[in-house]
Amino acid sequence: MSRILANGIKNCNIPTNRCYGTKSQKIIAVRREDQSVWERRAPLSPANVKRLVSKENVKVIVQPSNRRAYPMQAYLNAGAIVQEDISEASVIFGVKQVPADQLIPSKTYCMFSHTIKAQESNMPLLDTILEKNIRLIDYEKLMDASGQRVVAFGKYAGVAGMVNILHGIGLRLLALGHHTPFMHIGPAHNYRNSSMARQAIRDAGYEIALGLMPKSIGPLTFVFSGSGNVSQGAQEVFQELPCEYVPPEMLRKVAEHGSPNKIYGCQVRRRHHLERKVGGGFDPQEYDEHPERYISTFSKNIAPYASVIINGIYWAVDSPKLLTIPDAKHLLRPANTPWLPTSIGAPALPHRMLAICDISADPGGSIEFMNECTTIDTPFCLYDADRNKDTKSFKGPGVLVCSIDNMPTQLPTESTDFFGDLVFPFIMNILQSDAERPLDQHKFMPEVHGAIIASNGKLTPNFEYIQDLRQQSNRSRHKSDFENDQLKKVLVLGAGYVSTPLVEYLHREKNCAITVASALKEQSDEIAHKFPGVESLYVNVLDNEDSLSELIATNDVVVSLLPYNLHAGIAKICIENKTHLVTASYTNDDVRSLHESAVDAGITILNEVGLDPGIDHLLAMECIHEVQKSGGKIESFVSYCGGLPAPEFSDNPLRYKFSWSPRGALLNTISAARYLSKGQIVEINGGGDLMSSTRDLDFLPGFNLEGFPNRDSTAYANLYGIKDALTVLRGTLRYKGYSENIKVLQFLGLIDPNPHPILHPKGPDITWRVLICNLLGLEDTNIFYENLKSLITERTNSDNAVECLESLGLLEECGVVKMGTPLDTLTHFLSTKLKLEPHERDLVILRHDVGIRWPDNKREIRGINLVVYGDVNGYSAMAKTVGYPTAIATKMILDGEIQERGIVHPFTSEIYRPMLSRLKLEGLNSSETSKFF
């Protein structure tokens, strides 16, 4: 009997009763795939369909699709009906997710739904399934009694993934300057089948065995994570190359001294890298039940010796990650391989790790920095760890990543055959499903019953946790739980000059919500007006701790630009609310004591990420670590930093101007100091001795500079890891003449931080000349002016004292705004008198002099300079050099690049390298000089 099908294809061979079915006949449908233009697979092959039709009397409806690898005629020949309408079927089989608007109510759907981890992008699909009373069977949860998956495309994901990454390695190595046999391997979908791909790989392997790999590349090591179908499929392809397997403990040896005429493989199982957080050891049953009790040592013991990582493991929530974002920063550091024969035309690799093939394709999962799947159209990206960004290129810094989430479709016919044969034993049991009947009225096999995600309008008991995960995701505030498009919230406390560039940097991110809170509302309003979407709030942190706590609780990171003495209190509130904190200030003892509490709260309190402290640390650690890695020894470390007016605006006795409160700078001049000089500790008493310890500095001869020690420098011998250094000094820079004139102010008592009766705010009005007379101990404040000047010169023993005081206006008959103490009164006066005006620009100078002894006993003095000018009517140099690094550090916490918890400083390469890299993009560049002796 002949009939015309819905798609116009004439079929003369299908019996009438098969076409239309009977009441007792089961009907299933194979839907058309529409998730990707590359999706050419089907859940059942024509051979599977033929068995169902001829042996099980099942009516099979196949939606027409010219994209499907198996042609429609093949399904017609197998006995299927090819038609658009599949509503007659009670069970509908597909491969990937079904668009929500195409779901037919009260049906049973079998598919990979990608909902079991509460994947946000697929939650609308799950909601529609529940709303339409659909029974969902997810292939991913078809498991046997031991918990092993029984239905998967895994093997061919591994096969296709391995072909793809070998193709990618050829292109990446070419971009790095090396032609290799891998160049003759194409992407998986270029081959008719896997046999043709394997032949191309065998051909490449033959050339490798002949010694045609460049020697400067060194040995190549492939690490396979897991032992399941994915890993096995990948290794089947890998074994077409001349290869030798080694256990994990031998990886380092072969990575450094293996043969270039073969490729080394290493299969890593759970026991090789998972161990208990407490006590060590690995128990597979305990791990399955409590993965949160374990950590992974993969990044420390295995990844450093891997050229290529083939990741095929299933990652569950709460399981340790194989590689985190900070791990990548460590692993992608320059390799030290002096034994390899290199030259300009035969360069060494920039780092050992070349590529990662994340076949699991789980964004943010076991490979944390793989936050977005690649596609068959664009199968590779280059992840730059220092920038925490990826580019669609083979050239540049970084590791090549391939993370296609539908790799099996690159080998569609083989994948369909393989998958269909696996799912076939369960089809007849699934066919009893009637989505309108309660689940308990069915007799499903245990494997099928365990794979039912939703039924009768609700999640089944085993999957009710999905709703909990969704709620947790909504409440989560820390980056480790962020999805890429989730809003990140930053609270900035303080709205001074430094705040504006910080807010500007963070405002570049569309998914960053910024609130600026200040006791000076007009300042925070001004910032909010410049950057649309930024919120301005009035907050006095000393007034209402409860309100501040409520505000901090709603944010992911707090940036405090307030005075350092307030940071301990703010840190305590951040710990209570489990909110990260960033400051640009030195870590005082009160903050340091909160380390354990911050660790327990799971938050980062990152300090000293401004200029000084901040950029000075970054440049110091970069130099020190580079020297130590190359076998050198630091014998001395001398550093000076200062913010100054540009030379053309330094025309005042202090050669100094202020773009913020002068109090800190003035108070620093009477502080104590301590440093190490030629093996001896030098102590400078507080109260004013510091200004007698200045020295002339000529490292930049065009500037007339002097410097004096700052705080306790000896602590940095330990902090910087240079305990053997004989000289360690960190100091402050000023233009020459600053210290001499500060000594005049000190002598007169103008920098005294203690209360003075004459300066009580409610006392009688006085002039500056009266105040000076009083501080000199003169009972008669009506002294003749010339006599007063002579007395000042005599008492201070300085010919410049009078000129200094006159130029500053401190001998004038103008009123004093009394602030209780001489220091605070002078601070208030100079904040206006020596204010850096908008049309003026400032200058930041940072200098490190590092004394190095090399293994050959040569000595080097390496100078590191950072010179930054402010912009007229723009950001000051101080605002840029404090605001930008603080903003960069804040974003690194938001993006999960900094995951160390507790009190943290920017002393590790995982922090200072990306910060320096990004500061360069903001125009903050350092330069180096070197002298050998």
| Residues tagged active-site | 612
Judge contact between 684 and 672, C-beta under 8 A: yes
Positive or negative, the Cα torsion across 418, 424, 426, 427? positive
Give yes or no for a cis peptide into 350 (omega within 30° of 0).
Answer: no
Beta bridge partners of 930: 862
List Cβ neighbours of 837 (8 Å cut-off, separation of 6 or more): none
Rounded-to-integer distance, Cα 208 and Cα 588, Å: 59
The answer to whether 460 and 452 have CB atoms below 8 angstroms apart is yes
The secondary structure of residue 363, as a DSSP letter, is T
User: Cα–Cα–Cα angle for 838, 843, 847, nearest 5°?
Assistant: 165
- The number of residues in the chain equals 933
What is the per-residue DSSP string for 529-597? Answer: HHSTT-EEEE--TTT-HHHHHHHHHT-SEEEE-S-GGGHHHHHHHHHHHT-EEEESS---HHHHTTHHH
Instruction: Please state, in angstroms and rounded to a whole number, the distance separating the CA atoms of residues 930 and 576.
Output: 49
CA distance 912 to 864: 15
Query: 162 to each of 123, 224, 269, how far by Cα in Å?
Result: 31, 10, 18
Question: Residue 909 class from Cβ within 10 Å (0-12 exposed, 13-18 middle, 19+ buried)?
Answer: middle
Cβ partners under 8 Å of residue 445, min gap 6: 426, 429
Q: Give the C-alpha separation, 50 to 889, whole Å.
A: 62
Query: Which residue from 376, 450, 448, 405 is spatially nearest to 230, judged by alpha carbons?
Result: 405
Burial pattern 543-580, b for ≥16 Cβ within 10 A else e, equals: eeeeebeebbeebbbbbbbbebebbbbbbbbbbebbbb
- Cβ-proximal residues to 706 (8 Å cutoff; 6+ apart), any chain: 694, 695, 696, 697, 733, 734, 735, 736, 737, 738, 739
Q: What is the DSSP string of 776-803?
A: TT-S-TT--HHHHHHHHHHHHT-TTHHH
| Residue whose entry in the numeric block shows the structure tokens 């400067």 | 216
The whole-angstrom separation of Cα 753 and Cα 138 is: 72
- Measure the CA angle with vertex 595, ends 590 and 601; round to 5°: 120
Angstrom distance (rounded) from CA 290 to CA 311: 22
Provide DSSP, 85-152: --TT-SEEE-SSPPPGGGPPTT-EEEE----TT--GGGHHHHHHHHHTT-EEEEGGG-B-TTS-BSS-
Assign 17 to helix, strand or coil: helix
Task: Report CA Rg, the chain.
Answer: 35
**What is the C-alpha separation between 116 and 463, in angstroms, rounded?**
7
d(CA 47, CA 49): 5
CB 452 within 8 A of CB 124: no
**Nearest-10 crossing angle of helices 877-894, 499-507:** 40
Contacts of 920 (CB under 8 A, 6+ apart): none
